[in-house]
Structure 1
Amino acid sequence: MLTDREIRALKPKDKPYKVRDGAGLVLQVMPSGSRLWHYRYEIAGREKKLSIGQYPEISLVEARRAREAARELLRAGKDPSVEKRVQKLAARVALGTTFEVIARAWHEEQRQRWTATHAADVLGSFVTSVFPALGRLPLSEITPPMVLVVLRDVERRGAIETAHRIRQRMSAVFQHAVAHGWAASDPAVSVQRLLKPVVRGRQPAITDIDRLRQMLRDADKMPAQPVTKLALRFLALTVVRPGQELLGARLPEIEDLDGPAPVWRVPASRMKVKTGDHVVPLAPQAVDVVRALIRFIGPSGILFPSARTTRRAISNNAIGYLLNRAGYHGQHVPHGWRAAFSSVMNERHRLDRAVIDLMLAHVPKDKVEAAYNRARHLERRRELAEEWAGLLLDGLPGAAEVVEGPRR
């Protein structure tokens, strides 16, 4: 058996030569002076060689341990060289199974079934809240406490519901990895009950038509960007959802603007409920808003462009901030226009509940409503839209005057 002193005393020769430690462990001395450990063994009648490493990086003791580990594999009927290649492959795969790599792969698979807005929201939540802390870690190293730390940071921002959504998305990524053999478990599933509960309540909405009218009047008097004031008025008249349904609007979606039956066709891709395009009949007051907006619209066609660039719409919060500054914080939110319209118009037209639901693009509750012919009831919807506009803007200035009001 070799000793360290004997190994250090070995001198290089013109050709490689070997010295044996025993039980198949061999040290090969190269003409360059380097010394390489090998384990020689026989499997299925064939002699094979397993490279262990270079001395002194791999010491004599470590080389003997590697030899014994290889002999254990042989006794178990396994080929040490094959097992080494498998381990190397597993290590390379592990380098590619960081949370960010797998999360992006999962997102790429899923986004085909999502709207562009939702896909961007999902990826954005990872980029903002998860990747900075966990993105570079292999999935196998991520534990439930680490997941909880990330989610607690989101909770501290006051975004309780967002924390729950991010946990669900993280869990989906881990389940995706488990199914592909890249992870053994889902550490996000065990922290679900530890998050703060989401307290849901009705979004504040004024439902008295006189107070709604006064709110618009107060908002018109506030120093604000004209586009924000016009967006508030258009939202109030069309009662669409205030996110991408409204702020994703583009001028080409407005059809027959100068004709007798103007409509706004909201693409299905921006709708919460994917039942086709949502056709919104435009009352004359809504048409006036569009005409007042044209001077602000750039080449992109975005209907409610930001004051900084016409290539981007105003922010999701702009309308809400305007209402807050006008004194309606906690009383009415942008989404509240839908409740206001439903309350006022259902009270006035009890037999038109299904038509009013169509105007709000609500989810059909049964097959009868699902089969409701939207085109056939377009004229009735137009009548209700014009009635609503008349009630809401009675005595208020036109859209052109709103543009000339006080600015920020």
Structure 2
Amino acid sequence: MPLTVLQVDKAKPKDKDYKLSDERGMFLLVTKAGGKLWRLKYRFDGKEKALAIGAYPDLSLKDAREIRDAARNQLAKGIDPSAEKQAKKYSSVLAAENSFEVIANEWFAARMQEKSETHKVRTRSMLNNYLFPFIGRKPIQEITPLMLLDTLRKMEAKGIVETARRAKQTASQVFRYAIITGRAQHDPAADLKGALQIPKKRHFSALTDPKQVGGLMLAIDSYHASYTVKAALKCSALWFCRPGELRTLEWANVNWDEKRIEIIAEKTKQQHIIPLCTQAIELLESMQPISGYSKYVFPSNRGMSRPMSENTIRVALRTMGYSNDDMTAHGFRAMARTLLDEVMNYRVEWIEQQLAHSVKDANGRAYNRTKHLPQRFEMMQRWADYLDELKAAALSGNVINAKFG
């Protein structure tokens, strides 16, 4: 006779494991430890086997019978249900090992080590917050363009259009990594060309009016902060390099004999030279007693073994009263770019070279790092002197608007 739910509920453990038969080969195994396990006894290729169906009460009597019937249907088709179950289990494990999240983490470890800390943190945050929650557990080869688009649309709905565009680029790199490692055949991100919103181009806020720039330099002089922060602010204006290049600058990058800084540009990955004006040399010399025993010229206030935080300049500007719409750490570059061109009349290619932008000659060849270096030395010294003049004018209430030839 088939079992009833009452019989199953009342089954108690004994000194030894025992069975309660149901029907069509299924039985309940009651263990001496108190477990109640559904099993199906069957024969395949002349051998007696048992299929583990599940445990009671997690799997009810009704549900266990449905699984039993499905297994017997497989037997009628010549399929061994135990072998099929193992195959599906292995397939699930393999799918988990080849999920987007697993492969993305592998890609991150293999390909992101040479990137800047800022880039690594931004990419990791993008994966964890926007991609993994929606497609992280899916086998990478099963992710379709529509699945990825749906994920990116959720980001656009939050107004983070530029982040959605970058997430698509990151996902594409993960898919391409999966392809070359033999775990995917196609990059679904490549099919989404033109599918995302076009972000509005946003420029970093910067002060470009001579009077306002003079006020900024005066505010930096009057700013109550550590000497390291004030020196970093002044050098931001003097060098107008990228914020990451300034805060991670090492003493090893300072060539005292040639009076210049020699670095690898953060964006182009090309060698770059920053000529040192007399004001910058004085600032660096004054920093030596403070950070000369550190690797970094501008170390973190939390310890000399790490560079200044990427937020230090931003926070300093906010503390001085400049909002994000007024001035940013990156804005020192636009400030110099505008005034050197429009007020001081320096050649654009010299300015672009000093900004470490990709500049090419008439034949399409990239200028080398020493191109126009004597002219750039003169320009950087004149720029430093001009900033001092603007600061003096702000202090006296005058404004310098003269054109420089």
Alignment of 1:5-404 (within 5 A): 21-22=23-24, 25=25, 27=27, 37-43=39-45, 47=47, 49-53=49-53, 64-74=65-75, 76=77, 78-93=79-94, 101-111=102-112, 114-127=115-128, 129-130=129-130, 134=133, 138-139=137-138, 147=151, 151=155, 161-162=162-163, 165-166=166-167, 169=170, 180=183, 198-209=199-210, 211-242=212-243, 244-256=244-256, 259=257, 261-268=258-265, 271-275=266-270, 277-297=271-291, 299-329=293-323, 330-347=325-342, 352-364=347-359, 368=363, 370-394=365-389
1:101-153, Cα deviation, whole Å (9 max, x unpaired): 444233224315744542232114445x359x939973379988995797489
CA 54–285 in structure 1, closer or farther in 2 if over 3 Å, else same? closer
Q: Is the 8 A contact 1:52 1:66 kept in 2?
A: no
TM-score (normalizing by structure 2): 0.71
CA 331–369 in structure 1, closer or farther in 2 if over 3 Å, else same? farther
1:167-216, Cα deviation, whole Å (9 max, x unpaired): 65467658877983699988xx79x75x8x74433333333445423420
CA 182–4 in structure 1, closer or farther in 2 if over 3 Å, else same? farther
| Unaligned segments of structure 2, at least 5 residues | 393-405
SS, match of residue 85 in structure 1: helix
Q: Is the 8 A contact 2:98 2:183 kept in 1?
A: no
Q: Is the 8 A contact 2:155 2:164 kept in 1?
A: yes
SS, match of residue 49 in structure 2: strand
Alignment correspondent of 2:398: none
CA 347–60 in structure 1, closer or farther in 2 if over 3 Å, else same? closer
In structure 2, what is the Cα distance between the partners aligned to 1:29 and 1:342? 81
SS, match of residue 375 in structure 1: coil
Q: CA deviation at 1:349?
A: 7.4
User: Residue 3 in 1 paired to residue 6 in 2?
Assistant: no
Amino acid at match of 1:37: R
In structure 2, what is the Cα distance between the partners aligned to 1:50 and 1:381? 83
Q: Which of 13-22 and 91-100 deviates more?
A: 13-22
Q: CA deviation at 1:361?
A: 0.7
CA 221–76 in structure 1, closer or farther in 2 if over 3 Å, else same? same
CA 84–215 in structure 1, closer or farther in 2 if over 3 Å, else same? same
SS, match of residue 389 in structure 1: helix
Q: Which of 174-183 and 376-385 deviates more?
A: 174-183
CA 69–236 in structure 1, closer or farther in 2 if over 3 Å, else same? same
Q: Is the 8 A contact 1:99 1:135 kept in 2?
A: no
Q: Is the 8 A contact 1:296 1:305 kept in 2?
A: no
CA 396–298 in structure 1, closer or farther in 2 if over 3 Å, else same? same
Q: Is the 8 A contact 1:240 1:338 kept in 2?
A: yes
Alignment correspondent of 1:401: none
| Unaligned segments of structure 1, at least 5 residues | 398-408
Q: Which of 294-303 and 112-121 deviates more?
A: 112-121
In structure 2, what is the Cα distance between the partners aligned to 1:390 and 1:15? 93
Identity of aligned residues (%): 26
CA 69–347 in structure 1, closer or farther in 2 if over 3 Å, else same? same
Alignment correspondent of 1:402: none
In structure 1, what is the Cα distance between the partners aligned to 2:109 and 2:40? 45
Number of aligned residues: 377
In structure 1, what is the Cα distance between the partners aligned to 2:17 and 2:214? 98
TM-score (normalizing by structure 1): 0.70
SS, match of residue 43 in structure 2: strand
CA 326–48 in structure 1, closer or farther in 2 if over 3 Å, else same? same
In structure 2, what is the Cα distance between the partners aligned to 1:174 and 1:218? 49
